[in-house]
Amino acid sequence: MVGMSLSHVLLGLLADRSASGYDLLKRFDISLANVWPARQSQIYTELGQLSEGGLIKVAAEGPRGRKEYAITDAGLAELRRWLTETNPKKIGRNEPLARVFFLGVLTRDQAVAYLVEMAAQAARGSDKHKATDESVAWDDSGLAIYGRLALEWGHRYAAMEREWAQWAADQIATQ
């Protein structure tokens, strides 16, 4: 097990259903893009390593060199071990918020504009969430059930950020 997190995310997606690298890439885009982004090259590399390590296997080959991967028993055990016996590291990087610390080097107008833009971005995020919610064909698989919980998190996050950014812009503007 080389990559500690992307590898487990891939195991999680394959636990829901077998898929090719290409399928997984698209599934990332609709579900995990906001919490664990991954590039095409990284996904293919990681699939190769997981396969070599016996945590997934090529279950079928299709046209255009398509390889459909399925999780193995060892992979499922590893996924469960990761979820129950290791702690997620909670610290995450947040560039938009990191920038806020340094707005003091700009003019007040520029700082307010930055915060207003953050609020607008959050509002746009809300709309996008709503659209995703309506467009995704939710089945009753575990991934769909928990994916909807995560979507609700995104909804609340966007609302919180919009309100905070409006409040912050007001603090600076009326200071």
Partner DNA sequence: TGAACCATGTAAACAGTTACATGATTAA
Partner DNA sequence: TTAATCATGTAACTGTTTACATGGTTCA
Footprint on residues 75-104 left by a copy of itself (CB under 8 A) = 76, 79-80, 83-84, 88-104
Q: Does 9 bind a copy of itself (CB under 8 A)?
A: yes
- Shortest Å distance, C-beta 119 to DNA: 25
- Shortest Å distance, C-beta 29 to DNA: 11
| C-beta closer to DNA: residue 44 or 157 | 44
The three-state DSSP-derived secondary structure of the chain is CCCCCHHHHHHHHHHHCCECHHHHHHHHHHHHCCCCCCCHHHHHHHHHHHHHCCCEEEEEECHHHCEEEEECHHHHHHHHHHHHHCCCCCCCCCHHHHHHCCHHHCCHHHHHHHHHHHHHHHHHHHHHHHHHHHHCCCCCCHHHHHHHHHHHHHHHHHHHHHHHHHHHHHHHHCC
Footprint on residues 118-147 left by a copy of itself (CB under 8 A) = 121, 141-143, 145-147
| Residue 29 near which of DNA, a copy of itself, none (CB within 5-8 Å, type-dependent) | none
| C-beta closer to DNA: residue 41 or 84 | 41
- Shortest Å distance, C-beta 147 to a copy of itself: 6
Using only the alpha carbons of the chain, give its radius of gyration.
Answer: 20
- Provide the binding-site residues for a copy of itself, judged by CB under 8 A: 5, 8-9, 12, 15-16, 31-37, 76, 79-80, 83-84, 88-106, 110-111, 114, 121, 141-143, 145-147, 149-150, 152-153, 156-157, 160-161, 163-164, 167-168, 171-172
